[in-house]
A and B are shown apart, each in its own frame.
Chain A
């Protein structure tokens, strides 16, 4: 019979190798699907890698995709660390984008120096505001936040749809539900010529480093970790569990809202309902792959973005459906979960 025994101390080397091993396992498992699609495994993976990192264009596309994923990954990582399960980053992202567009296209006559930060703050505030309700419901009434945040995604998306088909619709868009385009001076600057990489990437990476420092070095980070690891003991020690959880939730919602701001102001220029191919949900996967470590989130987001971008070019060349990208991301999450468990427990056979 198989038994799992908890390790008293998990060796750091094991924690670091877990993601590498799980990615390797994922590639082996997904090879079966490539064989099934009648494609050569080696060439398919080579094309996937090439499409993700093989050229200047590939790398910039991957980094462009990674930008919102880092932010939603951070949103999930921060909240999950405090045991607040925010599944609603997708909705918060859209509301953040909507608020940014609302400010940016409102025609307020203010210089860009004022309007640009106002747009960012509005987006973050909108994301945080959407998470305020589930956070209060959880801390005051004990309502499960997984259910409320998940369902609010649909509310948020329908609200965005309502706005895009109504008051915020671009009259020149030939009937398509899309918003007005942001004025050029409110757009995030491009980092490189002839690419779509924008300064949102820098913001995301700086935030990841900042969060890592906050986690380890500040009293707020200490409270978040204490509440997440053991809320009962945190309360006994005099930490206000509800306040810490509320602050964490607002931070998480703001990060997801910022991801939405970056997508409209950095990449698309205007808001449509198909702007995010599930960045909010992918953020959860990324946070788990990163073991909730903010720095790990950056790497995990680049990995997931690479798989998505690379799968496109692989699909064109050898005819494996792009759905393989979703399968790879999903399988890597599952193997990461198994790997984390195996890192924390020893398997014994008796």
Chain B
């Protein structure tokens, strides 16, 4: 038995009353992939930040290759062979691959550049691990999968022997993910060790040798991946059984019942052409890798972005590009960035509950707010949609992301809207909140609403959408009911049969 390359013993970190990491001990063997699993807020990021020297643990110690790692020093972590690939890439778009790899490795005052040797070394590293990239390509011209390869190369170039990958598949198509897993296998064959952070259970089971599960700061399980199945893993992560909502087949609404009709819509610089119809009682899913125009489509469907071409019709009437027009046309809107766009965090919960309707006679009279009516409305939303908060007067940002999302959803769904537009509604939420939001969207559908669900999470779309179309480079594919994972992956990467 070889000594572990990395050993964490008794790592504890508190933030005020919150124990983010509670006495966590782990070790990582040479050539091993360790899956690190946990819900948002379970303590994964804190643990990695401590490992990388961004935080100092209140207690516990770290050993790398048998030597203690001085706490709170990112440089020491780098020098000891720890490399990190962040979920949001840290690359300069306007520089070449080689420049990006070199940033920070050359002395600031050195009169001589080592570009030639660096280039050789980069090419040999890339050959050794089968990570082909053109060192002179500009980052901006690379696909997301290629950029991730550059991030990995950057870490390897700096001599990383332990790689930490934070949600590496979040931005990839299924095929790109498969290619990444292939790369990871090459890396461990060469003796590297990898910590793979994810909340996608299938992936973790597929690539890891062992799985560590964090829950509320505690290490609740550390087991061989072979001895686990998906359901067990979900239960370990959440701490209780989670029942996914069951999707009944769509009720028999007639096909002529088109409620939302988008024709040849182009807007902004990313959305080139989108045409689709959504019927009463249907969830219409829009898949795609992030940045292919979904954000612009969502903005247009929320009234935030005016169309350069084409139009949006609801129940046969054209809707003008203004948030108020969409609210008046009975469109429930759930924006992607719930904290920064969905609510005004500094205002109290009750003021956010009426933010879309404060002008209506129910909530204002001659320019005066009817605070009693507003608070009653907020109370209805909080009770109906299970929003947990200390008081209606508390600032909205004091709530968790899941509760903020329930408030937004409740505000949107309370008045039985005809159309629902939800962009990434479950992004970053815990399993319980995800199930709740899916249930609510399905309920809206069953009541006869036309629901548009824009998501980067294929599992989510396959679980609740009736038809799915794929966005690529601003164009929307035809909607289908019967995609296979491979087909939809190809469509997301832009290939058309």
Contact = CB atoms under 8 A, between A and B. Distances in A.
B368 A229 contact: no
Given A9-B394, A226-B347, A229-B345, A237 B369 contact: no
Contact of A233 (B16, B303, B340): B340
A150 interface: no
A230 B344 contact: yes
Interface in A214-247: 217-220, 222, 225-226, 229-230, 232-239
B340 A230 contact: yes
B304 A236 contact: yes
Nearest to A9: B398
B343 interface: yes
A228 B302 CA distance: 22
Contact of A217 (B304, B324, B327, B368): B368
Interface in B321-368: 322-324, 327, 333, 335, 340-347, 351, 355-356, 358-359, 364, 367-368
B66 to A, nearest CB: 27
Contacts of A222: 351, 358, 369
B345 A1 contact: no
A63 to B, nearest CB: 32
A144 interface: no
B56 A5 contact: no
B15 interface: yes
Interface string B394-418: 1101100000000000000000000
A5 B16 contact: yes
Contacts of B245: none
Nearest to B359: A219
Interface in B22-80: 55-56, 72
B121 interface: no
A350 interface: yes
B368 A232 contact: no
B323 A235 contact: yes
Interface in A304-350: 346, 350
Contacts of B317: none
Contacts of B355: 226, 233-234, 237-239
A2 interface: no
B371 interface: yes
A13 interface: no
A85 B147 CA distance: 41
Contacts of B369: 217-219, 222
A8 interface: yes
Given A217-B368, A233-B340, A233-B341, A225 B16 contact: no
Contacts of A238: 303, 322-324, 327, 355-356
Contacts of B345: 229-230, 233
A234 B364 contact: no
Interface in A1-49: 1, 5, 8-9
Most chain B C-beta atoms within 10 Å of own C-beta, residue among A225, A237, A346: A237
B344 A229 contact: yes
Contact of A9 (B340, B341, B344, B395): B395
Contacts of A230: 340, 343-346
Contacts of B342: 233, 236
A257 B398 CA distance: 40
A250 B335 CA distance: 32
B15 A229 contact: no
A222 B363 CA distance: 12
Q: Number of contact residues on B: which range applies?
A: 35 or more
Interface in A231-271: 232-239
Contacts of A220: 367
Most chain A C-beta atoms within 10 Å of own C-beta, residue among B304, B344, B369: B344
Nearest to A8: B398
Contacts of A218: 367-369
Most chain A C-beta atoms within 10 Å of own C-beta, residue among B303, B333, B367, B371: B367
A1 B72 contact: yes
Contacts of B56: 1, 350
Contacts of A350: 55-56, 72
Contacts of A234: 344, 355
A228 to B, nearest CB: 9
Contacts of B344: 226, 229-230, 233-234, 237
B113 to A, nearest CB: 34
Contacts of A237: 323, 344, 355-356
B341 A232 contact: yes
Given A9-B394, A236-B323, A236-B341, A225 B347 contact: yes
Interface in A270-291: none
A219 B304 contact: no
A69 B246 CA distance: 65
A1 B31 CA distance: 36
A65 to B, nearest CB: 34
B364 A219 contact: yes
A219 B367 contact: yes
A350 B20 CA distance: 15
A8 B389 CA distance: 12
A238 B397 CA distance: 20
Contacts of B359: 219
Nearest to B355: A237
B302 A236 contact: yes
A235 B323 CA distance: 7
B12 to A, nearest CB: 13
B121 to A, nearest CB: 35
Most chain B C-beta atoms within 10 Å of own C-beta, residue among A218, A230, A236, A346: A236
Interface of B: 15-16, 55-56, 72, 302-304, 322-324, 327, 333, 335, 340-347, 351, 355-356, 358-359, 364, 367-369, 371, 394-395, 397-398
Interface of A: 1, 5, 8-9, 217-220, 222, 225-226, 229-230, 232-239, 346, 350
Nearest 9 A/B pairs, CB to CB: A237-B355, A238-B323, A238-B324, A229-B346, A230-B344, A8-B398, A233-B344, A229-B344, A219-B364
6 contacts: A1-B56, A230-B340, A233-B343, A234-B344, A236-B323, A236-B333
Given A229-B346, A238-B322, A238-B323, 16 more contacts: A1-B72, A9-B395, A9-B398, A218-B368, A219-B369, A222-B369, A225-B347, A233-B343, A234-B355, A235-B323, A236-B333, A237-B344, A237-B355, A346-B16, A350-B55, A350-B56
